[in-house]
Amino acid sequence: MYELIQVTEKSFYIQSPARIGLYRTGPDRVCLIDSGNDKSAGKKVKKHLDERGWTLEAIYNTHSHADHIGGNQYLQKQTGCRIYAPGIERDFTEHPLLEPAFLYGGDPPSDLRHKFLMAQGSEVLPLTEEVLPEGLSLLSLPGHSFAMAGFRTEDDIVYLADCLASEETLDKYRISFLVDVGAYLDTLERVSRMEAALFIPAHAAPTEDIRPLAAANIARVHETAETLLSICRAPASFDDILKEVFDRYGLVMTFEQHALVGSTVRSYLTWLKETGRLRASITDNRLVWKS
């Protein structure tokens, strides 16, 4: 774990729970694509840099989830590097309390205030095409989070962040975290048409052909949607729906999973409502959903 793997002359990745990209901007200068899940990850990254005499110029965060920004604070304090994040992801990265608050829908209890959902804050600048080094271009990949970004290098390596999960992950967790189902499907359709020398997703094996994995993720979204429509054949409250999702998929309810899966289910309900396949109504002071 945390092995540095060279892909081309300039493009690398660090094998970690959420794969970290590394791009050489000069003979002794590099930038990172994400920073790992915590301070410990940041230390392992810095060890690679120190061993090679590389200076870290910048971290480009793909999105604000804690397993991608957890090393930010440590690396910024140690190196003085600039950190960039796209759109609203910048606010969540700079103020990590927003993540558990968003998931919970209010002031989050201590059960959700831990490093897996709430990283340490860092000073963050807006990520735009103009701030990128020569040879790196920006890809818009919303859906898994509000404004997630990916990157393409001049040597045709594409870093895809969390826009795809491995088939093993899909089978294990059954329902992948999403904030915007429609945007996610649009992203997957665009990704499935991309060509590159190598695709590097954060949570799936690097591959030269991304189409089979994109198809598997698209199919799982539609399968989940059909499951929710089936559950809602009779009017059902959100709590009824969430319990049935956990029961059907054999998931174990915890405070954290209630927040993560619950947020995703709400996103599906919104998408199904906005596309006319589900309706919501108030009955006896209860919000109920009906397909």
The C-alpha atoms of residue 259 and residue 107 are separated, in whole angstroms, by 13
pLDDT of res. 1:
87
185-213 pLDDT per residue, tens:
999 999 999 999 999 999 999 999 999 99
pLDDT of res. 73:
98
pLDDT of res. 63:
98
pLDDT of res. 124:
98
Tokens 């539609």 belong to residue? 222
Residue 209 CB contacts under 8 Å (≥ 6 apart), including other chains: none
Which stretches of the chain score pLDDT less than 50?
none
Tokens 């794969």 belong to residue? 19
pLDDT of res. 8:
98
Domains defined along the chain, listed by start: 4-223 (3.60.15.10), 234-290 (1.10.10)
For residue 70, what are the CA distances in angstroms to 41, 63, 115, 204? 8, 11, 8, 20
